[in-house]
Chain A
Amino acid sequence: QVQLVESGGGVVQPGRSLRLSCAASGFTFNKYAMHWVRQAPGKGLEWVALISYDGNNKYYADSVKGRFTISRDNSQNTLYVQMNSLRAEDTALYYCAKTRIGVVNNALDIWGQGTMVTVSS
């Protein structure tokens, strides 16, 4: 079945870095744009970043631009986000999600269960 499994979360000190991964299975990964979305504890959803199916186009939320880098390895069916200069306000559950169809501006139809990132000294 179609599945997304995030990993790499944990506790990290402010200013440090962390890389999250999202392993995809059950669909043709290289045909779909992919997203990262986060949710701070007790708060709403915040879109973080998007990468096109081929990795050539990337888009970011203003809150992470210049600090986070989204990437993908289509040979490994894996999505990544490299998070640098982490701040307390980056503390959240991070979800990866796929677009319903291949184009970038389509809804997110499959979500992982998330990986928790806590930024704290």
Chain B
Amino acid sequence: IQLTQSPSSLSASVGDRVTITCRASQGISDYLAWYQQKPGKAPKLLIYAASTLQSGVPSRFSGSGSGTDFTLTISSLQPEDFATYYCQQLNSFPLTFGGGTKVEIK
């Protein structure tokens, strides 16, 4: 199953609302997770089961979608949110990640 993330990069300002999309090449129900990765660091789980916020993750992050189309939304971008975001499907093997979306400071 291929995951296509868009955009591959974006520039945004602190306080902006940011939306990242992830499209699966076939239906994956809600078996989708979102991760955040900062330079030189391991990925961090943000969202699982498409829309469930991982414990300790700020509520400005949210996920939605089912089937083939998913979104990650950051309601008000904070300085610490500048990072690369990846989606991952867990519906079937081999598991796959999207190509990533780099969120940069405008």
Known contacts A61-B94, A62-B94, A114-B42, A45 near B48 by CB under 8 Å:
no
Stretch at the interface among A10-18, A81-89, A105-113: A105-113
Closest Cβ–Cβ distance, residue B100 to chain A (whole Å):
5
Known contacts A108-B45, A111-B42, A47 near B99 by CB under 8 Å:
no
Chain B interface size band reads: 20 to 34
A44 CB contact (under 8 Å) in B44, B45, B100: B100
Is B54 a contact of A109 with CB atoms below 8 Å?
yes
Is A107 a contact of B45 with CB atoms below 8 Å?
yes
- Nearest to A110 among chain B residues (CB) is B45
Is A47 a contact of B88 with CB atoms below 8 Å?
yes
Tell me if B's interface is mostly helix, strand, loop or mixed. Answer: loop
How many residues belonging to A are interface residues under a CB distance threshold of 8 Å?
Answer: 22
Is B97 a contact of A46 with CB atoms below 8 Å?
yes
Interface string of B55-97 (1 = CB under 8 A from A): 0000000000000000000000000000000101011011111
Is B100 a contact of A109 with CB atoms below 8 Å?
no
Alpha-carbon distance A114/B35, docked complex (angstroms): 16
- Nearest to A108 among chain B residues (CB) is B45
A70 sits at the interface (CB 8 A): no
A50 sits at the interface (CB 8 A): yes
Is A50 a contact of B97 with CB atoms below 8 Å?
no
Is B97 a contact of A59 with CB atoms below 8 Å?
no
Is B94 a contact of A106 with CB atoms below 8 Å?
no
Alpha-carbon distance A100/B88, docked complex (angstroms): 14
- Chain A residues with CB under 8 A of B95: 35, 47, 50, 59, 61
- Nearest to B93 among chain A residues (CB) is A59
- Chain B residues with CB under 8 A of A60: 94
Interface string of A49-81 (1 = CB under 8 A from B): 010000000011110000000000000000000
- Chain B residues with CB under 8 A of A100: 45, 48, 54
Seen from chain A, the residues whose Cβ lies within 8 Å of a Cβ on chain B are 35, 37, 44-47, 50, 59-62, 95, 100, 105-109, 111-114
